[in-house]
Amino acid sequence: MANHTAAIHDYFSLLEHEIEINNEMVIEAISKLDTTAYKPGNHWGCSNTHYVLLAHIISHELNISVDELFQKLFIEKYNMSNAFGTGENESYMLGQDETGKRLPHLSKTIGDAGLVASANDLLGFGEQLCSNPTLLNEIADAKEMRHTYERDTNWIYSLGWFYSEDEFGEFAAHSGKSDGFQCYHQLRYESGTYWYILSNRYSKEFTAMRKDLVELLLRE
């Protein structure tokens, strides 16, 4: 599940997008399945369900809520002072669709969602990412995994680090989208540079803007 090769169906493909989704609903939906999305262990394909199940297992085995665990391991440690669980506060900014229509935050799961962070929080995470050997080693694994698994480019939801390269060199990237937001993180292997884009509007222009920013940041 941690490497996204368990092949468990993404819960967004099983549940209606218009309803508020929580962990219990996800577990109920997948417990009824007798198939997987592909042959387990055959290739790499992100599934939000993997995150939810991992969070549920960790919470059960350690007898601690995932919110408390995130607070201890990440939020306090990395000085992410504005981050909070979605169950704690509902007064944060909502996202927008292509037309500018405000979208409610419907994913209340813990694992793939359930944590709201500001731009400053992500900057704090990035500073840790560039200097913390443990985190760097975890992200470096994405580079090695490219030889083992084929990335399924047809998956709509992709919220995991993956290895790639462009004319400027090798990098690991992490992307996600849901409920009117999009985010993209990139760590350059050669320079150790980390940067991200966070948008509260879902737009087809997001990818083009991302590519333009790479040009601005990396081209001499």
Provide the pLDDT for residue 155: 47
Count of structural domains, the chain: 1
Which stretches does DSSP call E strand in 72-199?
84-85, 95-96, 102-103, 115-116, 161-166, 169-178, 181-188, 194-199
Angle subtended by helix axes 133-145 and 119-131, to nearest 10: 80
Q: DSSP secondary structure string, 2-41?
A: TTS-S-PPPGGGTS-TTS-B-HHHHHHHHHT----SS-TT
* Contact between 182 and 81 (Cβ < 8 Å): no
Provide the pLDDT for residue 46: 80
In-domain check, residue 90: no
Residue type, 49: T
Length of the chain measured in residues: 220
In-domain check, residue 191: yes
Q: What is the pLDDT along the chain (220 residues), one digit of tens a residue?
A: 887 889 999 998 898 877 788 889 999 999 999 999 888 887 777 888 998 998 889 888 999 887 788 888 778 888 788 887 766 556 666 788 888 888 777 777 877 776 777 888 888 888 888 888 877 777 777 777 666 666 655 544 344 677 888 889 988 888 877 777 888 888 888 888 888 888 888 788 888 888 898 888 888 6
In-domain check, residue 71: yes
- The Cα 33–Cα 43 span in angstroms is 20
- The Cα 48–Cα 43 span in angstroms is 16
Q: What is the CATH number of the domain that holds 44?
A: 3.40.710.10
Provide the pLDDT for residue 148: 66
In-domain check, residue 97: no
Question: Which residues fall within 8 angstroms of residue 16, CB to CB, at 6 or more apart?
Answer: none
Question: Which residues fall within 8 angstroms of residue 187, CB to CB, at 6 or more apart?
Answer: 129, 130, 139, 171, 172, 173, 193, 194
Token pair recorded at residue 56? 């549920």
At 199, give phi and psi (nearest 5°): -130, 140
In-domain check, residue 70: yes
At 143, give phi and psi (nearest 5°): -65, -40
**Helix (H) or strand (E) segment spanning residue 213:** helix 206-218
Domain residues for the domain of 212 are 11-85+106-218
- The Cα 192–Cα 111 span in angstroms is 27
* Contact between 172 and 186 (Cβ < 8 Å): yes
In-domain check, residue 95: no
In-domain check, residue 73: yes
pTM of the full structure:
0.77
* Contact between 173 and 186 (Cβ < 8 Å): yes
In-domain check, residue 5: no
* Contact between 8 and 53 (Cβ < 8 Å): yes
